[in-house]
Amino acid sequence: MARSVYLAHTGGTIGMKRTAKGYAPKPGYLAEHLAAMPELQAPDMPRLAVREYTPLLDSADMTPHDWERIGRDIVAHHDQYDGFVVLHGTDTMAYSASALSFMLEQLAKPVILTGSQIPLAEVRSDARENLITSLLLAAHYPIPEVCIYLSGQLLRGNRARKVSASGFDAFASPNAPPLGTVGVEITIAWERVRPKPRAEVALQPLLEVSVGALRLFPGITAGIVENLLREPVRGMVLETYGAGNAPARDTALMGVLEAACARGVVIVNCTQCLRGSVMMSYATGQALQQAGVVSGHDMTPEAALTKLFYLLSKGLPSQEIRHLVQQDLRGELTSIV
């Protein structure tokens, strides 16, 4: 039977048009170009339902409302299609993919986010291959996960980071091997793919929760941190040095963190390093633990931040969020047993 894929076009470079002010999204423009692609009619290609969002966004303009909108759209069509491709700007794609991986509970179909560094309409674009391969993956490979596909690599969405502003290989997942590689063959590492859930797909909506992120730097003061942790902030991703270290000799700063944790703010320790995990094994890391900061293990800051949005939106008590944030919910962290 012919396969079918739901293609949600949210914006991003892939569908942009060159204008006097630089590349900008233009309604209907992508559809025109899709209609002119004979390869979409090939026998292997799925039947497409294309939905263009209004307004089309540069992903730098996206907010948690947009994640929710995409999530709702997928849940509403979940049972009618074999898979989903979301065309999305690359700038915040790792955030959207991470958020969707948490919000789409019991997802049973592939959701592939893709985009490009050069618009589809341009001669030297990387969009064509990204789009065609994503459609084939969504149609024929029943991976029940939110993924990012670009430039030959299928990555788990909540492990991915944008690592290049100009290369076609814009994404990497430094702490997890790819779920698939695409060259002459499409090879899926099925042993790494998460099992298909039995229950029905459901969307966890996001509440108006205040979540922040802070990257430590030499010279940071207790005052700066205190300001960032003020009410109504409920969660914070703290990007620390190396294996999870902070300036522990600054007792004022440590006191601010401790007071926030005691108030119920969930502070998650993630490393600034691209690769590796938080261990909090140095004295400078243990001080954070003593202050009440919890380990983000090897989560990306994007995954940790969106996980906080997700868990806080569930309205769980702070203690439970502190526990769950350190657990592997969607393959976003490597649990150390």
Annotated active-site positions, please? Answer: 13
Percent helix, strand, coil in the chain (nearest 5)? 35, 25, 45
Closest approach of ligand ASP to the CB of residue 141, in Å: 24
Closest approach of ligand ASP to the CB of residue 90, in Å: 3
Long-range contact set of residues 321-329: C-beta below 8 Å, sequence gap at least 24: 321/235, 321/266, 322/266, 322/294, 325/266, 325/268, 325/294, 325/296, 326/294, 326/295, 326/296, 326/297, 329/102
For residue 64, is the peptide bond before it cis, meaning its omega torsion is within 30 degrees of 0? Answer: no
117 touches ligand ASP (CB under 6 A): yes
Closest approach of ligand ASP to the CB of residue 144, in Å: 26
- String of contacts with ligand ASP for each residue 42-61, x by CB under 6 A: ----------------xxx-
Q: How many residues sit close enough to ligand ASP to count as binding (CB under 6 A)?
A: 11
Cβ contact 151:168 at 8 Å:
yes
What's the distance, CA 156 to chain centroid? 9
Q: Closer CB to ligand ASP, residue 90 or residue 277?
A: 90
302 touches ligand ASP (CB under 6 A): no
- String of contacts with ligand ASP for each residue 65-104, x by CB under 6 A: ------------------------xxx-------------
Site for ligand ASP in 252-291 (CB under 6 A): none
Per CB under 6 A, the list member of 9, 12, 296, 305 interacting with ligand ASP is 12
- DSSP classification of residue 194: P
Closest approach of ligand ASP to the CB of residue 11, in Å: 6
298 touches ligand ASP (CB under 6 A): no
Binding site for ligand ASP (CB under 6 A): 11-13, 58-60, 89-91, 115, 117
